[in-house]
Structure 1
Amino acid sequence: MKFISFISVLLAIGVYSAKLPEYLKKCKKGTDNGDCVAVNEQAVVDALLKNSGEPKFKLQGLTPIHVSRIDLQATPQLKVGLSEVDFFGFEHLKPTGGNIDADTLHIKSFLPHVEIIGKYDINGKILILPIQGQGNCNITLVDFDVDYIAKLVVEERKGKKYYQVAADDNTTLKINNIKKVHWQFNNLFNGDERLGPEMNRFLNENWKDVFSEVQVAIEQTAAYSIVNYFVNGYLHFIPIDELFEE
């Protein structure tokens, strides 16, 4: 599965060593630092909102998060392409725990409402029905937990050691306990005035089954194109010895 995102240009913006931003705190080494990770996660969210990103690390803001292109092979029978996608709602993220140690970053969060708005191109079958179309879409996820785990590797640059998230297949993100998903695809079946509304009604009446078919693809997109982008954006510039207490 291939994902095209802005994360691919992150390391082209230069290399320098930075101290821990004043709004972050150093954590204890080991696994007993969940409160520290949660506090820092909230501090990052607040800073990204206040500054419309993190200019020091060339990171975009949270309202919205923009991804130019996402290609999903949701199932062998279903291909979905999304372009000029905006993710709204990450400003309401609430940290719920996690930890960081020598080779793993674990972040747990709750999100009350995320809207995914952009253009879509869909073709194939979803559940038992054929689906095809191009146009504007809105996918809204309501009340869900996020469990993100990334393996960390150590890079050394100019005598300093830094963490980076390992290759994509070492990152997992799970969406749990979701309350509702709303689907809206405009111009399905070339704008057919009967089939399009009927398909949207079917998708929303069977939202749990529909979500189960595309959940892994959505989770991987969120991990690789969004969370890894922000995590690497901080870790790329902050030496490991700035992250932990002595």
Structure 2
Amino acid sequence: MQSTLIVASLMMCFLGVSLAGSMPEYIQVCHRNDPELSKCLKSSVHNLRPYLAKGIKELNVPPLEPLYIGELSILDGSAGITVRAKKLNILGASNFEITKLRASTQNRRFDFELILPHLQGEGMYEINGNILALPIKGNGPFTGNFTNFLAYVRVQYDIKKSNDLDYLHVKEFALKIRTGKGNLKLENLFNGDKVLGDVINDTINQNFEVFTNEIIAPIARALETNFLAITTKILENFTYNELFPV
């Protein structure tokens, strides 16, 4: 009996080493019963950042730098103004820093709080209506710089079987953003009228938080969609036991 237990123990150790060796370097494995699971997960996600920035070809994960969102309807006219963005690129999304993380395997839920130290956006815009009691109209290129945006992420998951193997499946991925500081520059406002254009740009930047609170929801949804797609691509390539061994 004792020799059987020794052999079984050695086999388990061998399987554990083999499993760890088969995982790619960008996946830091966390044991599901680790009393410091949240700390391990935080380290694991931070370890992914440089790989996410460049993209992970073998998992079909596109580069996060820049994060291409493309066309985005920001305001649809219901608030008296229409704002659309085209060819929208965001730089800096991979430089996030997790400040808080709570993991519950019992409730199958992860809660993150993270900070985005610096985001830069660029693309084309179309705007028409009134904002901050001022009429505004124009279309053309725009640039934006945003600092210290806070994001709150809630991930609810379950475990599904495929070919007799367990995989993590994201049931819910919710992201909310609280605006920080920054500035925007909209070019070619009022058909290139510099005086009127400067007035609008100055007014927006003097009331930056108010302005961005108006437009942040669709941007958050776009980021939510992209991050969910990345998370799904990673999870579908590894079993639950590979990612979270006992």
Same fold (TM over 0.5): yes
Contact 2:90 2:122 in 1 (8 A): yes
Instruction: State how 1:107-126 maps to structure 2 within 5 Å.
Output: 107-126=112-131
Contact 1:27 1:37 in 2 (8 A): no
* Separation (CA, whole Å) in 2 of partners of 1:75 and 1:174: 22
2:176 matches 1:174: yes
Return the match for 1:128 from 130, 133, 157: 133
Partner residue, 1:234 = 234
Query: Which of 119, 122, 140 is 2:145 aligned to?
Result: 140
Aligned in 2, Cα 1:129/1:236: closer, same or farther, shift over 3 Å?
farther
Contact 2:31 2:37 (C-alpha < 8 Å) held by counterparts: yes
Unaligned runs of 5+ residues in structure 1 are 1-18
Q: Which amino acid aligns with 1:69?
A: E
Mapped contact 1:35–1:97 kept (Cα < 8 A): no
Residue in 1 aligned with 2:25?
Answer: 22
- Deviation, 1:194, is 2.1
1:42 aligns with 2:46: yes
Q: Distance in 2 between matches of 1:92 and 1:54?
A: 16
Alpha-carbon distance, 1:130 to partner: 2.7
Select which of 62, 66, 82 maps to 2:64. 62
- Following the alignment from structure 2 to structure 1, what is the Cα–Cα distance between the partners of residues 35 and 56? 27
Q: Distance in 2 between matches of 1:88 and 1:35?
A: 27
Q: What displacement does 1:65 show?
A: 1.4
Distance 2:71 2:35 in 1: 36
User: Which protein has the bigger helix share?
Assistant: 2
- After the TM superposition, which residues 194-209 of structure 1 pair with which residues of structure 2 at under 5 Å, given as runs? 194-209=195-210
Q: Which has the higher contact order (CA 8 A, sep 6+)?
A: 1
SS in 1 for 2:194: coil
1:84 aligns to what? 87
Q: Alpha-carbon deviation of 1:139? A: 2.0
Match of 2:168 in 1: 163
Which SS does the other structure have where 1:145 is aligned?
A: strand
Cα distance change, pair 36–125 in 1 and its aligned pair in 2 (3 A): farther
Contact 1:75–1:213 (CA<8 Å) still a contact in 2? no
Instruction: Say whether the 8 Å CA contact 1:181–1:207 is kept in structure 2.
Output: yes
Show structure 2 runs of 5+ residues with no match: 1-21
The separation in 1 between residues aligned to 2:240 and 2:76, in whole angstroms, is: 37
Under a length normalisation based on structure 2, what TM-score does the superposition of the two structures give?
Answer: 0.79
1:74 to partner: Cα distance: 6.5
Contact 1:74/1:213 (CA < 8 Å) preserved in 2?
A: no
Across the two proteins, how many residue pairs are aligned to each other? Answer: 221
CA-atom RMSD in angstroms: 2.5
Q: For the Cα contact (< 8 Å) 2:69–2:222, is it kept in 1?
A: no
Return the alpha-carbon distance in structure 2 between the equivalents of residues 94 and 235 of structure 1. Answer: 21
d(CA) in 1 for partners of 2:31, 2:231: 16
